[in-house]
Amino acid sequence: MAIIVKDLNKQYHYYKKQAGLAQSVKNLFHREKLVKEAVRNISFSIDEGEIVGFLGPNGAGKTTTLKMLSGILFPTGGSASVLGFTPWERKKEFKKRFAIVLGQKSQLWPDLPAYESFQLNKAIYEVDDRTFSATLDELVELLDVKELLHVQARRLSLGERMKMELIASLIHRPRILFLDEPTIGLDVISQKKIREFIRKYNERFKITVLLTSHYMKDIEELCRRTIVINEGQVMFDGDLNRIKTSFADIKRLKVQFAEEVDVERLRSFGKVTEWDGVHATIETNHQDVPAVSQQLLNRFPVLDFAVEEQPIDEAVAKLFAKGG
């Protein structure tokens, strides 16, 4: 196993602060201590070479977990093994075997070309010249950024900068990669290129990847397995399609009509979520799809008709709402 987590938890202690001068004076002598459980006794394991999606709403504990697994944070309790190392012991050999990319925090020096930051990482991780050149050439080819190596990082677009962030993280050839929102804020094309790179790199080097993202396309295209957490607890661990199967009780009927139809007539078949007169989207229970479809075709001048699955992000949201 590349990663083994058992009953891992993280608590933050803070004090209640009320508004007003009188309360501020009172807090000098007596403060109410509060506890925030960011992660609550989570357990899971990941095999070498797996790409695993790590899902959850904001504040669920995803980033906190990644920071503990990379040794940035100390846990309050529990245990974790990453490639046989205890992360928060921060041993030198462990640091050479993993990398972490935080989508909202850059490791590049903004006023220097990305190549200079790569050279710095080369020195930090004690990468020899030959390995550095070979690795850089491979990554530059996969990401197609040869012309950007000597451009100041702050002059790069968001998508270009993320590519450089990935190169900087992989220059020492880690065996585990923690990715926290690597496509956040990127346009659709840039997101696709980043996903293609992660997939190709995993296929070529069998690197283990733990990926968090709010873009479900990232998870659907890269991850066979998904771990869902909410309020610091693991709610689901398994095949992403099981979420869709378990919660896809709603189907969407996309209908185009030859002439304008009355929306009130359509509401008798289900929830009308979109309508402009000649196009409509109707949500109905999956068991009723055959009967509803037949009635629509019999009663209306239908030009085009399609049945769609419920989007996976909505299925996950429903999982959160049901509390597991």
User: Where along the chain do its domains lie?
Assistant: 3-244, 249-308
Strand 33-46 relative to strand 3-15: parallel, antiparallel, unpaired?
antiparallel
Q: pLDDT tens digits, residue range 62-119?
A: 999 999 999 999 999 999 999 999 999 999 999 999 999 987 788 899 999 999 999 9
Q: Are 316 and 60 in contact (CB under 8 A)?
A: no
| 322 against 69, higher pLDDT | 69
Partners of residue 228 on adjacent β-strands: 55, 236
Of 102, 80, 246, the closest CA to residue 178 belongs to 102
The dihedral formed by the CA atoms of 39, 45, 48 and 51, expressed in degrees to the nearest 10: -60
Task: Please tell us whether the domain made up of 3-244 is placed in CATH 3.40.50.740.
Answer: no
Task: Identify the band that residue 248 occupies on the pLDDT scale cut at 50, 70 and 90.
Answer: low
Residue 88 near residue 260 (C-beta atoms within 8 A): no
Count Cβ atoms below 10 Å from residue 303 Cβ, excluding itself: 12
pLDDT tens digits along 121-151: 999 999 999 999 999 999 999 999 999 999 9
Nearest to 244 by CA among 314, 141, 173: 314
Q: What is the pLDDT of residue 225?
A: 93
Segment 293-307 shows an average pLDDT of 92
277 with 260: CB under 8 angstroms? yes
Q: Do the bridges between strand 225-230 and strand 208-212 make them parallel or antiparallel, or are there none, so unpaired?
A: unpaired
* Secondary structure of 280-319 in HEC code, one letter for each residue: EEEEEEHHHHHHHHHHHHHHCCEEEEEEECCCHHHHHHHH
- Give the residue among 204, 213, 190 at the shortest CA–CA distance from 101: 213
Whose CA is closest to 212, among 61, 47, 5, 27? 61
Per-residue pLDDT tens over the stretch 182-226: 988 888 888 999 999 999 999 999 999 999 988 888 998 999 999
189: three-class secondary structure by DSSP: helix
The answer to whether the beta carbons of residues 98 and 85 sit under 8 Å apart is no
The closest of 86, 58, 320 to 180, measured between CA atoms, is 58
Q: Let me know if domain 249-308 sits in CATH 3.40.1840.
A: no
Predicted TM-score (pTM) of this structure: 0.81
294: CB partners within 8 A, 6+ apart? none
End-to-end CA distance of the chain: 26
